[in-house]
């Protein structure tokens, strides 16, 4: 019995921003956005704060795991849009959930944040004797999007996902590979109190090649083959990246889970949101072999393989 995902949860804001809405804001079109990204709409947190979204996703994950906030030993919060400069959003979430014990901290790895966080949570359980770690990926990217920049404003949305990482239950985190390259930071970044800046073409090429490499490496590490994968859950950045990556890995698109058309790129929240929806839709079942991969600012990237 290994370290597993015991509960899943997500939350997306009520307010929907469609491509047709964006046509009225910048020089773009629904056809242009869909063709190049696969995105039709995204959710924008007008009524909800980052913590509101994180709390709702967390409570859903706790309910699915059938545990209470008091059972949580640590909270790891992956975000690039924290509620405050300090304290950590994880500490603020700990207060909202009324977790009476344990500790909480944030990590910043952009779109790779959830996979980095999963590695951190696994390490806390293996090395520190913890039993339950609440891992949250949540973003309010609408706060750092330049709504006059048509190359970036069409891509991003808000949302939150959460998982309970546990030392008991069925399933197992089988293997992971994490990478970063600080020399390439200028390809995707946001200045302090500034907007997202991105060199899309350069990032596209790097993303496909880099994620392919870590996916193959993590499969080799686990002693498994591409053919054995039941579900492929890539970071929801761009449908063309996902299609190119699936083709290079020789994974059928039928095995690829995507909800990018509904939510756009939600950074650290995208994989846990996708995992939860896949489970609720019956696409993710006990015993399934699931490959996850992401790439984001840093540059950071990685791949994780789990038996659900």
Using the structure block, give the residue that is written with the tokens 């999963």: 118
Tell me the CATH architecture of domain 172-307.
Answer: 3-Layer(aba) Sandwich (3.40)
Tokens of 159: 């949302």
Residue-wise pLDDT tens digits, 24-64: 999 999 999 999 999 999 999 999 999 999 999 999 999 99
Active site residues: 111, 235, 265
Average pLDDT, the chain: 96
Please tell me the pTM assigned to this model.
Answer: 0.97
Is the pLDDT at 192 greater than 90? The verdict is: no
- CA torsion, points 266, 196, 80, 267, in degrees to nearest 10? 20
The confidence score (pLDDT) of residue 54 equals 98
The confidence score (pLDDT) of residue 100 equals 86
Arithmetic mean of pLDDT, 79-86: 96
The confidence score (pLDDT) of residue 191 equals 86
- 15 CB-near residues (< 8 Å, 6+ apart): 43, 44, 45, 46, 47
**Which residues are registered as beta bridge partners of 15?**
44
The confidence score (pLDDT) of residue 2 equals 84
Higher pLDDT, 101 or 212: 212
The residue ranges of every structural domain in the chain are 4-166, 172-307
**Which residues are registered as beta bridge partners of 162?**
9, 136
Is the pLDDT at 1 greater than 80? The verdict is: no
Distance from C-alpha of 289 to C-alpha of 295, rounded to nearest angstrom = 21
Is the pLDDT at 298 greater than 90? The verdict is: yes
Residue-wise pLDDT tens digits, 219-255: 999 999 999 999 999 999 999 999 999 999 999 999 9
Arithmetic mean of pLDDT, 129-152: 96
- 27 CB-near residues (< 8 Å, 6+ apart): 150
Identical topology for domains 4-166 and 172-307 = yes
**C-beta atoms surrounding 31 within 10 Å:** 9
**Per-residue DSSP letter, 113:** H
The confidence score (pLDDT) of residue 89 equals 98
The confidence score (pLDDT) of residue 78 equals 98
pLDDT band with cut points at 50, 70 and 90 for residue 101: confident
The superfamily CATH assigns to domain 4-166 is Thiolase/Chalcone synthase (3.40.47.10)
């Amino acid at each position: 019995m290994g370290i597993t995902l015991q509960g899943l949860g997500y939350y997306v804001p009520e307010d929907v921003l469609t491509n047709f809405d964006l046509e009225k804001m910048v020089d773009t079109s629904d056809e242009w956005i869909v063709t190049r990204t696969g995105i039709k709409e995204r959710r924008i947190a007008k009524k909800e704060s980052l913590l509101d979204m994180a709390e709702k996703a967390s409570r859903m994950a706790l309910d699915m795991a059938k545990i209470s906030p008091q059972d949580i030993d640590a909270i790891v919060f992956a975000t690039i849009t924290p509620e405050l400069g300090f304290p950590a959003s994880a500490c603020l979430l700990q207060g909202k959930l009324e977790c009476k014990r344990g500790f909480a901290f944030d990590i910043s790895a952009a779109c790779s944040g959830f996979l980095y966080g999963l590695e951190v949570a696994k390490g806390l359980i293996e090395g520190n004797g913890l039993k339950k770690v609440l891992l949250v990926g949540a973003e309010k990217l609408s706060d750092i999007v330049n709504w006059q920049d048509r190359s970036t404003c069409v891509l991003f949305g808000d949302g939150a996902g959460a998982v309970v990482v546990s030392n008991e239950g069925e399933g197992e985190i089988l293997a992971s590979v994490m990478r970063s390259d600080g020399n390439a930071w200028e390809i995707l970044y946001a200045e302090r109190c500034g907007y997202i800046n991105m060199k899309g073409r350069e990032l596209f090429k790097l993303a496909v090649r880099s994620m392919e490499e870590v996916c193959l490496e993590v499969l080799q590490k686990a002693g498994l083959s591409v053919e054995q994968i039941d579900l492929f859950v890539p970071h929801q950045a761009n449908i063309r990246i996902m299609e190119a990556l699936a083709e290079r890995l020789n994974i059928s698109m039928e095995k690829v889970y995507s909800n990018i058309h509904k939510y756009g790129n939600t950074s650290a929240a995208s994989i846990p949101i996708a995992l939860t929806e896949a489970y609720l839709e019956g696409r993710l079942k006990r015993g399934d072999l699931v490959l996850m991969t992401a790439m984001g600012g840093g540059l950071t990237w990685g791949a994780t393989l789990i038996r659900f």
